[in-house]
Amino acid sequence: MLDLQRLEAGYGESMVIRNVNLRVNPGQIVCMMGRNGVGKSTLMKSIMGLIRLKSGSVFYNECDLTSLSPDRRAKSGIGYVPQGRDIFPQLTVEENLLLGLEAAADRRKKLPETLFDTFPALRQMLHRKGGDLSGGQQQQLAIARALASGPKLLLLDEPMEGIQPSIVMEIEAIIETIKRNREIAVLLVEQSLEFATSIADYYYVLDRGTIVAEGNAEQLSEDQVKKHLTV
């Protein structure tokens, strides 16, 4: 469904992503791992069109998205939760969620009821300001907002970062629910080898902007992979 071909991207003169080939198949959970600063967020932004590619192509369901704007990419069915969450603190939970509908291809105006099956806590908080929520609740809100438009692929950039360990389990449970349903594929940037091993169908390891290892989850904890992850 997602097919990155020989992607090269960066900022100004500096090249950050080099010759990246990556695939995500329907319903798959794919983990992107790598040390800080190797280019994981840059790769996510390149997929969404937030950074102009220097070369290469982004295919989604056989369509070439490479020259499309970020909102057209979102409308084609890709949800994106950036690192740091990016919710609107002054807007209510409901208003934040409704903004997610902007990315829907079918101009729907109502939030899908099933959204609250996955995020029951948000239903109780619809009228609270986003900024008054805890870090974990804001992360749930950011994921729910990305799912409101009914994407078939979700890009999640380090959703556990900066969240208390007790709440990490709640976010992990949400990703596990998505995996169980197999209706949405996820490309997940994740630092925890343990969680990645438990959830991923496939993994990629990025080092200095290049894919240096990839494979099935069973191979993920092998020393070859660990060597690229430890500082």
Ligand X SMILES: Nc1ncnc2c1ncn2[C@@H]1O[C@H](COP(=O)(O)OP(=O)(O)OP(=O)(O)O)[C@@H](O)[C@H]1O
What residues line the site for ligand X (CB under 6 A)? 11, 16, 34, 36-42, 83
Nearest residue (CB) to ligand X, 12 versus 120: 12
Nearest residue (CB) to ligand X, 32 versus 97: 32
* Coil/strand/helix, residue 112: coil
Q: How far is the CB of 206 from ligand X (least distance, A)?
A: 7
**47 backbone φψ class: left, alpha, beta (φ>0; ψ -120 to 50):** alpha
Other residues' Cβ atoms within 10 Å of the Cβ of residue 185: 23
CA–CA separation, 200 vs 46, rounded Å? 22
Q: How far is the CB of 228 from ligand X (least distance, A)?
A: 12
* Coil/strand/helix, residue 25: coil
Q: How far is the CB of 218 from ligand X (least distance, A)?
A: 25
Q: Quick one: CA torsion of 167, 138, 206, 169, rounded to 10 degrees?
A: 20
Nearest residue (CB) to ligand X, 83 versus 219: 83
Q: How far is the CB of 40 from ligand X (least distance, A)?
A: 4
Nearest residue (CB) to ligand X, 90 versus 231: 231
